[in-house]
Amino acid sequence: MGPERGEQGRSCTGRRRTRRQGDGNDDATLDRLEGEGLVAFRDTDENGTVTEAANRNGSARNIAGILSPNLRICGLMPHPKDLVDPLMGGTDGLPMFESLADAFVSA
């Protein structure tokens, strides 16, 4: 589920995610992020389609996560850490962390 190098705009599909912000951004910045392949995640429906209904946070262009130019940092709008244990209300965020752990083990 984690972003693959060179794979722009991985979707955050079909999983419940907690949200905290509703901020957008200006078109020049959004164009630059997209043009440089720095969009890591977009909110999509369960079929991977970018839709207004899937954009529960109201972010510009359904962007849910971006990468730093050196690809070392991924900033996320969703908070998958809030859903990693049934005691926290669900495990919908767990696959992201399992994916990251698997990537580190195989690197």
Across 36-40, 58-62, 71-75, 103-107, least confident range: 103-107
The domain spans of the chain are: 10-80
Closest listed residue to residue 42, CA positions, set 21, 18, 20, 66: 66
Q: How far apart are the C-alpha atoms of 77 and 83, rounded to whole Å?
A: 14
DSSP symbol at 71: S
As a whole number, the mean pLDDT across the chain is 81
Torsional sign, CA 73, 76, 82, 84:
negative
